[in-house]
């Protein structure tokens, strides 16, 4: 796999059709009102037509017991000439079970936009293995498209810049209007109209390293990448040469010891010494006074244990935080430590 040769998908235009699949948990069957809210908002804001893959709304037990059905939906979306983008319903914890059934040639021969984050990291690596560029971004039922009381402007801007334009994405500015990880129970449809509580943003934190670095983007959810290591789709070590590695943690809020052990693995395998820089998404479900704990865990391994001077930037608006910006895998990015700027120097679509 070469990040520089990934095939970019076609950009979206109003009126295009996008397909929803459930590669992990079929949450739309459990909380149909939440799913319909996301579908409605996506169609109204961006002028898209949303369709469900044949098994996207099946019972979660049936969905869990049949990874083949989940992959069949992915293949259906890839084969359907009307579908321009594929959006996972939500995350979960077992997309790795799909890998034995995926037709990688079908992905390569039908390059389409693939979104999602968290457990959908698995599909991102499957797409990269097939030679197609995926995009780390929203799922259908989560805070992006289905945000309570309407989408955040910061998120809408990122979607337009990333998916509807083939121009360079440019500087990614922090969202200074506040962020949220509040959980309003989906089982009560009334909550859909209640805005979530906003917390004050501290902006991006340029916490380690010097100078400017440019590299291609690769990464994902830290816990899910641990499941992928050693699998068919995990990149060879050369793929990490000079990259900007992006990482974020799930809503399960793993221990700092877990994060340290994950990073020690990247050090032990030689990956850590190959990368040019690290960006870290703002964590969810941690106390405000602990918001930096994962960044500090990364620094323990990077700085204290391995004496590396690579740039490390934390508290970025991606992953399990809302609003989020989208990250195209394989795109060139730049960390400017002197001016405290993070930029994506590529287009995500053509």
Q: What average pLDDT is seen over the chain?
A: 97
What pLDDT does 247 receive?
98
The alpha helices in 231-326, defined as continuous H runs, are 256-268, 293-299
Residue 329 pLDDT > 90, yes or no?
yes
Each residue of 231-265: pLDDT tens digit? 999 999 999 999 999 999 999 999 999 999 999 99
What pLDDT does 59 receive?
97
Average pLDDT over residues 202-215: 97
All structural domains of the chain: 3-169 (3.40.50.10740), 189-344 (3.50.30.60)
Each residue of 43-101: pLDDT tens digit? 999 999 999 999 999 999 999 999 999 999 999 999 999 999 999 999 999 999 999 99
Cα separation, 292 vs 303, in Å, equals 15
What pLDDT does 282 receive?
98
What pLDDT does 1 receive?
81
Each residue of 270-324: pLDDT tens digit? 999 999 999 999 999 999 999 999 999 999 999 999 999 999 999 999 999 999 9
- Where is 217: in which H helix or E strand? strand 212-221
CA dihedral 217, 19, 59, 90 (to 10 degrees): 30
Cα separation, 150 vs 147, in Å, equals 5
What crossing angle do the helices spanning 32-46 and 153-163 adopt, rounded to 10°? 60
Each residue of 101-150: pLDDT tens digit? 999 999 999 999 999 999 999 999 999 999 999 999 999 999 999 999 99
Average pLDDT over residues 10-18: 98
- Where is 64: in which H helix or E strand? helix 60-65
State the pTM of this model: 0.97
Cβ atoms within 10 A of the Cβ of 66, count?
14
Residue 216, beta-bridge partner list: 332
Residue 322, beta-bridge partner list: 180
What pLDDT does 55 receive?
98
- 276-307 residues labelled b (16+ CB within 10 A) or e (exposed): bbbbbbbbbebeeeebbbbbebbbbbbbeeee
């Amino acid at each position: 796999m070469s990040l520089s040769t990934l095939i970019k998908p076609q950009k979206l235009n109003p009126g295009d059709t996008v397909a929803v699949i459930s590669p992990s948990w079929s949450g739309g069957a459990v909380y149909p009102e939440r799913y319909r809210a996301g579908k409605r908002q996506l169609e109204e804001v961006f002028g898209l037509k949303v369709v469900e893959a044949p098994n996207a709304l099946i019972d979660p037990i049936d969905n869990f017991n049949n990874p083949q059905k989940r992959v069949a939906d992915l293949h259906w979306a890839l084969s359907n000439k009307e579908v321009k983008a594929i959006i996972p319903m939500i995350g979960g914890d077992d997309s790795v079970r799909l890998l034995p059934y995926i037709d990688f040639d079908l992905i390569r021969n039908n390059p389409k936009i693939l979104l999602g984050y968290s457990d959908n990291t698995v599909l991102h690596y499957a797409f990269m293995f097939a030679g197609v560029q995926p995009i780390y971004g929203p799922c259908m039922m989560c805070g992006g498209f289905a945000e309570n009381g309407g989408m955040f402007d910061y998120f809408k801007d990122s979607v337009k810049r990333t998916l509807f334009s083939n121009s360079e994405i440019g500087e990614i500015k922090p969202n200074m209007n506040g962020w949220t990880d509040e959980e309003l129970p989906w089982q009560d449809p009334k909550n859909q109209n209640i805005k979530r509580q906003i917390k004050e943003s501290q902006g991006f934190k340029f916490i380690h390293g010097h100078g400017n670095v440019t590299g291609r983007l690769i990464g994902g959810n830290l816990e899910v990448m641990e499941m992928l290591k050693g699998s068919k789709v995990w990149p060879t070590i050369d793929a990490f040469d000079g990259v900007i590695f992006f990482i974020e943690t799930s809503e399960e809020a793993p221990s700092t010891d877990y994060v340290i052990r994950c990073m020690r693995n990247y050090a032990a395998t030689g990956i850590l010494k190959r990368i040019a820089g690290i960006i870290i998404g703002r964590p969810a479900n941690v106390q405000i006074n602990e918001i930096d704990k994962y960044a500090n865990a990364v620094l323990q391994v990077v700085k204290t244990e391995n004496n590396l001077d690579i740039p490390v930037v934390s508290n970025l608006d991606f992953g399990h935080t809302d609003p989020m910006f989208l990250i195209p895998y394989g795109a060139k990015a730049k960390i400017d430590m002197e001016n405290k700027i993070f930029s994506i120097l590529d287009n995500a679509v053509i």
